Amino acid sequence: MRRNRFLGLTALGIAVGGVFVGAKPAYADLPVIDPASIIQEIKQINVLGTIESALTSLLGKSGPLATLMGDNTYGTVQQLLQEGFTQQANYSKASIGAMENITDASNEAMAQYDLQLRDAQIRDEQTASPTACTGLDNGVSTQAAAIQGDAVGFTLGQIEDVRDESGPTSPSYYGQAQGVASENAEHLNYYCDPNDVAAGLCANSTTATADADQRFSSLFGSGTYANQTAVTTAKDYAINLIEPVAPAALRGDQLNSIAGQDAAVQRRSYNARISLAQNVIDYIVGMQSPSVPLTSQQQTYLTNMGLPQQTTGSWLQVLQINAESRISDINWNAQLQSMPPAAVNREIALELALNNYLEFQIFSIDLKNAAVNATTLAQIAQHDFQPEVQMPTPNIN
């Protein structure tokens, strides 16, 4: 307690002493002012004002830049710059629009080009080429000529079968001598040669027809017989080749006897073999008989190949033109070089079809050859078969 009291008295003494002595108070809470700093700030403000005045003088309406930029007749510099930038922006927008239009036009032109190109491709794929039309004409001619050729061969076969069988309307019906006389008369009337003239059998002979009924060229010539006379000559050659004179017919009492019946069996076998041989040759004659009119392209091909010029062709010659033109016709080969792929494919298809047709015709000929070979084999076997001993007639109860 005494210590606290002592401290209080000490503080009171210090306060009273301060009052009576007259010590000055401290002003620590008043603001501090630095005159030198204030003067420095004022100088900087004056510098900025000088700079502002200089810029104003430089950029003002009457300043040097304004003088260089011209007067304000067309507006201030700010206005002119703004309008310039605006115009530049407009130019950029116009340039973009123009490029869009150019691009659109280019795309449209390219689309039109692609469309026309595709149209041309479709046209080439769907439109028949001239060679395809020619191939179709040849195919139609071939088929028509085949029908006509078969008809000619069949008709000749029917006529000659009656002759070979010594039917009622044939010369040998009345005897073999009549058949020989008829054959000689046919030769002397149409194919008289110098020897016949010298023997007094005929009046005159021509080189073109002399012995034509004996010559191979009468059967196979240029591919088509020139006319009906040439067809008849080929038929006469076929007759001399297969059966010049038919055996006399078996008639009346000859057929009623046992020997006549045996002879009739042999005669029927003979007639069958002769009919086969004769009809094979008649098929060849029919193939070369004039059957269908030739197109202008076919006639041109015959001219280019050096063959006889004619307006009517045979089955064989139409086939010849159709097949050989692919390897020897200049016009066809020239067109082949410029054919589009679709036309080439069609040409290949036509050639494959022609190949199939020829293969079938070869098969048909092979069938005839098989019949001829079988007949030859049977004839040889029959000729070689001879009984070793004469056998007695058996008794049959």
| Residue 262 located in a structural domain | yes
| Residue 341 located in a structural domain | yes
| Residue 310 located in a structural domain | yes
Q: How far apart are CA 204 and CA 191, in angstroms?
A: 10
Q: How far apart are CA 300 and CA 329, in angstroms?
A: 10
Give residue 366's pLDDT band: very low, low, confident or very high (50, 70, 90): very high
Close Cβ partners of 20 (under 8 Å, ≥ 6 residues apart): none
| Residue 261 located in a structural domain | yes
Q: How far apart are CA 128 and CA 130, in angstroms?
A: 7
pLDDT of residue 367: 94
pLDDT of residue 83: 80
Tell me the CB-side half-sphere exposure of residue 250, using CA atoms within 13 A.
16
Top mean pLDDT of 26-40, 123-137, 156-170 is at 156-170
pLDDT in tens, 12-25: 555 545 544 455 55
| Residue 332 located in a structural domain | yes
Q: How far apart are CA 43 and CA 335, in angstroms?
A: 103
Host domain of residue 299: 130-175+214-379
Give residue 35's pLDDT band: very low, low, confident or very high (50, 70, 90): low
**Residue with the larger pLDDT of the pair 288 and 74:** 288
Residue 85 has pLDDT above 90, yes or no: no
Close Cβ partners of 316 (under 8 Å, ≥ 6 residues apart): 149, 223, 224, 287, 288
pLDDT of residue 15: 52
Q: What share of the chain has pLDDT > 90, as a percent?
A: 32
Residue 374 has pLDDT above 70, yes or no: yes
Give residue 3's pLDDT band: very low, low, confident or very high (50, 70, 90): low
Q: How far apart are CA 252 and CA 261, in angstroms?
A: 12
Q: What is the mean pLDDT of the chain?
A: 82
Residue 372 has pLDDT above 90, yes or no: yes
Could you count the other beta carbons within 10 Å of the beta carbon of residue 45? 9
pLDDT in tens, 51-70: 777 767 666 666 666 666 55
The total domain count for the chain is 1
pLDDT in tens, 168-226: 888 999 888 999 999 999 999 999 999 999 999 998 888 889 999 999 999 998 888 98
Mean pLDDT of the region 327-335? 81
Joined together, the tokens standing for residue 239 give 């007759």
Of the chain, the end-to-end C-alpha distance in Å amounts to 191
**Residue with the larger pLDDT of the pair 137 and 104:** 104
| Residue 225 located in a structural domain | yes
| Residue 53 located in a structural domain | no
| Residue 7 located in a structural domain | no
Mean pLDDT of the region 295-318? 86
pLDDT in tens, 228-282: 999 999 999 999 999 999 999 888 888 888 888 888 999 999 999 999 999 999 9
**Residue with the larger pLDDT of the pair 242 and 329:** 242
